Amino acid sequence: MVKFSFMPRGKIFFELYEESAENMVKTAEALKDMVDNWENIEQRVEQIDEFEHIGDNTTHKIIELLHRTFVTPFDQEDMALLAHSLDDIVDLIHAAAVAMHIYKIDTPKEGAKELAGIIVTAAKEVEVALKQLRNQPKLKQVLEHCIEINRLENAADKVFRSAMAELFDNCNDTADIIKWREILEHLESATDRCEDVANVLEGVALKHA
């Protein structure tokens, strides 16, 4: 079985993925802090804007390096998917934060707070799993984190369904329903992208452990 090749560029790939994951966690934490402490929203969204730009730049570096590297640590398609999925998580968190700001939300709903908390937990699991990716003896441990990420995504689905049911049951303002449905969908989709990352990591771990 082909094992990881730790050529100089291979090391750079892992560093970039870890950089992307670290930025993702910071973005998730910034969103959770925003919904838990609902004040100075414009400044908080600007901070998340900055994290989103950092994520885009890191993703660009990974994809550019992929195009210039013939031999990569693992399958190029998986590497590209991993980079884009990490970026998507940040983009969706950013989209939720921006929506809450431009829609002038009075206060976050409990479902949004719960989803923000799940995103932080899932993001941290992704970060730990990615750090283990470069260490072949620890590849099997990656699978444990993937299982936990999948569990968190299922938990997010339940929170999302409950929040949507409550929204339609208790809200009489059609505009508010539309606004909150969009926000909740962005948050739930962020957990879906965490699961996408877990699926890629699981495949890599099973192939190379």
92-104 mean pLDDT: 97
CATH of the domain at 38: 1.20.58.220
pLDDT digits (tens, 9 = 90+) for 139-168: 788 899 999 999 999 999 999 999 999 988
Decide if 106 is inside a domain: yes
Q: What is the pLDDT of residue 106?
A: 92
Sign of CA dihedral 125, 130, 131, 136: positive
Q: How many domains does the chain contain in total?
A: 1
Q: What's the one-letter identity of residue 187? A: L
Domain extent for 141: 8-208
Decide if 165 is inside a domain: yes
Which residue bears the tokens 């560093």? 15
Decide if 29 is inside a domain: yes
Decide if 1 is inside a domain: no
Q: CA gyration radius for the chain?
A: 18
Instruction: Decide which of 205 and 89 is more confident.
Output: 89
Whole-model pTM? Answer: 0.92
Decide if 2 is inside a domain: no
